[in-house]
Amino acid sequence: MSSKSALSVVALLVVAVLLVAAPMVRERYPRAWWYAVSFPILWVRIRFTWRQLAWECDLAVTRKRAHAMIGGILVKGKELDPVVPRLHVGWPRPFSVTMRARMLPGQTPDEFVDAAEAMSHAWRVHSVRVSSPARGEVEFTISARDPLANITAPGALARRKHHGRPWFGVSVSAELEETPGAADAAKLLRVFVGLLEDGSPWVLDLRLLPHWLITGATQSGKSTLMNAAVVELAPRPVALVGIDLKGGMELGNYTARLSALATDRPAAVRLLGHLVDVVLERTVQCRVAQVRSIWDLPEQIRPVPIVVLVDELAELYLATDPKGKADALACSTNLVRLAQLGATLGVHLLVAGQRVGSDLGPGVTMLRAQLGGRICHRVTDPETVKMTLGDKFPDAVIAAQSIGPLERGVAITTTNEGGWMRARSANIGAEQAQRITTDYAHQRVWLPGLSDFDRPGGKTS
C-alpha cells in the first residue's frame, strides 16, 4: 500500500471514530462540546444567515426609495441595496452567547422583538431574547438550550453544606454561601430561590424590591417557590408571618418558624391590623431618631425585618356574607397600607395567588401597584398574566403564556436590574420545608403584641 492510500485509510478511520464518539462526547462533556463544536457552528450560521434573515424580517432599510417614476408610471418594488444592522457577536458563555446590533435610523427595539422567534428557528437554538440596554442598541441573548430544563435542585440549605461546590453549574458566590446575620444588613434580605435563564442565581432582593406578587395556576410552583424563600430565610434573624386562608394547608408547614399564622379571615384582619400598628410604631421610632428607614438605625436598636407570606390572595377577597365582605375590605386596606409604609420600615410582602383579577375588587389593583416584584408561573387565564406582568413588562406576557404545563416551577420574574427573565425555583418540597423550618424553630422571632393571639399553636382568639 502506498503511503498516500495509507494516509487516506487513517484519515477515514479518524473520521469514523469521531462520528461514533461524537454523541458520547457531547453527552459526557456538554460544555466542552458547546465551546468546541456548537458555538463555532452557530457563529457561522449567524454570519451566513443574518443578512437574508434581517431582510426577510423587515429589519433591513434602504437608503434608496422603493418606488420610482418611469415614463410617468409609478413603479414599486423591493428595496434595492438593503442595509442591515451590523452585528457584534460576543464571547460565548455556557450554552449562551450575547450579540449586539446598532439600530438603523427609524428602527425600534419592538421590530427586533417580533423577529426573535424567526431567529431562534433560523439558528436552531432554544431561544433568542431581545432587549435594548442602551438607546439605539439592541442586545440578543441566544440560549442554545433550555438551561432550566431537567434541573433537580437540592435544598438551599443542602447546597450550603456542599461547601461552595457549584449548584446547577452555578458557582455560588461567597455572598450567597453564608447565612447573613443582623449585621449584614445588605445581605439579610437577599433570598436565593433558584436559577435564572442566563445561568445566574435567582435572588429576590427585598431591600431593592420590597414586595412581590407571585401568580400561577394550580400546581404551577407557587408554594414550591415560597418553600425555597422560607428555607433561605429560616436561619436568619427575620420574622416570618403567614396568612393562609386555605386553612393553613400550605403555610402550616412552616408553623415551627412562624411568628404568627392566620388561617381564617377574622384572624387575618387582626393580624394585618396588628402589623399596621407595628409599622406605625416603627415610623415613630425612625422619626425620633431622625432617619428615613430602619436600615439607618444603629444595629442595636434596629427592629427585626418581618416577611409576611400570603397564600391564595383570592381567598382574602372573595366573601359573600356582609361580615365576610367587611373583613375582606379591612384585609385589603391593611395590605395596601402595609405595602405602602412597609418598604423602608422592614415589613415585606410575598403574596401568592392562582388568579388575580379586577373582579376581586378595586383593592387588588391598588395592592398590585404596590407590589413591585412580579413572578408569573404558568397561568390559565389571560387576565392574571396581564395583571401580573402587563403593566410593567408587556413584552413578557407572551413569554409567560408560553410556559407549558410540564414546566413546573418555571416563571417569568422581575430581575434586580429592573427587567424580566425566565427562571426556575429550587424544587423544595413541603416536607423538606417543614423539616428545615422545624430545625430553625429556635430562630422564631417573638413579635411584641403577638403573644396572645394568632401564634401558631397558641391562643387564636
The residue assigned the cell 393571639 is 453
Residue 223 Cβ, how far from Mg ion at the closest point, in Å?
Answer: 3
Residue 393 Cβ, how far from ligand ATP at the closest point, in Å?
Answer: 21
342 labeled part of a ligand binding site? no
CB nearer Mg ion, residue 151 or residue 249: 249
Applying CB under 6 A, among 274, 386, 408, 444 the residue interacting with ligand ATP is 408
Residue 245 Cβ, how far from ligand ATP at the closest point, in Å?
Answer: 12
CB nearer ligand ATP, residue 302 or residue 408: 408
| Part in contact with ligand ATP (CB under 6 A); list of ranges 79-87, 97-105, 181-189, 421-429 | 421-429
Applying CB under 6 A, among 215, 427, 432, 434 the residue interacting with ligand ATP is 427
Helix, strand, coil percentages, rounded to 5, for the chain: 45, 20, 35
Provide CB contacts within 8 A for 361, sequence distance 6+: 317, 328, 329, 332
458 labeled part of a ligand binding site? no
Residues between 188 and 227 that touch ligand ATP (CB under 6 A): 216, 218-224
Residue 377 Cβ, how far from ligand ATP at the closest point, in Å?
Answer: 6
380 labeled part of a ligand binding site? no
At 205 the three-state DSSP class reads strand
Residue 226 Cβ, how far from ligand ATP at the closest point, in Å?
Answer: 8
Residues between 219 and 278 that touch ligand ATP (CB under 6 A): 219-224
Partner touching 408 among Mg ion, ligand ATP, none, CB below 5 to 8 Å by kind: ligand ATP
432 labeled part of a ligand binding site? no
Residue closest to ligand ATP when measured from CB atoms: 409
Residue 309 Cβ, how far from ligand ATP at the closest point, in Å?
Answer: 12
Handedness of CA 105, 108, 112, 115 (dihedral sign): negative
222 labeled part of a ligand binding site? yes
Provide CB contacts within 8 A for 220, sequence distance 6+: 377, 378, 379, 403, 408, 409, 411
Applying CB under 6 A, among 107, 354, 388, 437 the residue interacting with ligand ATP is 354
220 labeled part of a ligand binding site? yes
CB nearer ligand ATP, residue 53 or residue 233: 233
Q: Are strands 73-76 and 127-131 parallel, antiparallel or unpaired?
A: unpaired
Q: CA of 415: how far to CAs of 15, 123, 151, 372, 419, in Å?
A: 46, 27, 20, 11, 5
372 labeled part of a ligand binding site? no
Q: Does 150 bind ligand ATP (CB under 6 A)?
A: no
Structure-block grid coordinates of residue 51: 443578512
**Gyration radius of the chain's alpha carbons:** 27
CB nearer ligand ATP, residue 270 or residue 408: 408
DSSP 110-174: HHHHHHHHHHHHHTT-SEEEEE-SSTTEEEEEEESS-TTTT--PPPHHHHHHTTT--BTTB---H
217 labeled part of a ligand binding site? yes
Applying CB under 6 A, among 131, 425, 434, 443 the residue interacting with ligand ATP is 425
Q: Are the C-beta atoms of 357 and 318 separated by less than 8 Å?
A: no
Q: What angle do CA 343, 349, 353 make, to 5 degrees?
A: 145
Residues between 73 and 112 that touch ligand ATP (CB under 6 A): none
| Part in contact with ligand ATP (CB under 6 A); list of ranges 253-261, 268-276, 380-388, 419-427 | 419-427
b/e 237-247 (16+ beta carbons within 10 angstroms → b): bbbbbbbbbee
Distance between CA atoms of 240 and 251, rounded to whole angstroms? 10
Going by C-alpha positions, the residue among 403, 348, 414 that lies closest to residue 380 is: 403
CB nearer Mg ion, residue 53 or residue 245: 245
Residues of this chain that bind Mg ion (CB under 5 A): 222-223, 250
Binding-site sequence positions for ATP: 216-223
Residues within the interface to ligand ATP (CB under 6 A) = 216, 218-224, 354, 408-409, 424-425, 427
